[in-house]
Amino acid sequence: MKNWFWETSCQVIQALDWAPSYVVMADKYLERLFGMFILPGYNEAGVPTVLALPHCSSVHTFGMKQHLDIVLIDGCGKVIALHENVGPGCMVGDKRAELILERFHVG
């Protein structure tokens, strides 16, 4: 199942023209809890970071200073929502989501 999350993340990143991206799979509690709050926006090579949250149907931007782009993906790999430029203090979710991708807003 973990391969599905990686493959789907890569496919959606390509489809949304978010490539190149440095994908971080958040499969530990603290990574999931703090999300982009604790990650650098870019890796050492200057490639934007995308956080993939498997088995996730909602995220929040509490405590964030930067805006995020957030993608919700269902269990078939279909993008069910794309929220761009989501500001601090918001919640985004859909009960159908199985995977969520986040990145710092570009634009």
pLDDT in tens, 43-59: 888 899 999 999 999 99
Question: Which string of b and e fits 64-90 if b means at least 16 CB within 10 Å?
Answer: beebbbbbbbbeebebeeebeebeeee
| Domain total of the chain | 1
Percent of the chain with pLDDT over 70: 98
What value, to the nearest 5°, has the Cα angle with vertex 46 and ends 50 and 17?
A: 50
Q: Residues 105, 70: contact at Cβ < 8 Å? A: no
List, for the chain, all residue ranges whose pLDDT scores fall below the cut of 70: 1-2
In eight-state DSSP terms, residue 26 is -
Give the global pTM.
0.92
Which pLDDT belongs to residue 13? 98
Domain span at residue 38 reads: 2-104
Which pLDDT belongs to residue 28? 86
Radius of gyration of the chain (CA): 12
What CATH number is attached to the domain comprising 90? 2.60.120
Which pLDDT belongs to residue 49? 94
Q: Among 87, 88, 81, 20, which residue's Cα sits nearest to residue 101?
A: 81
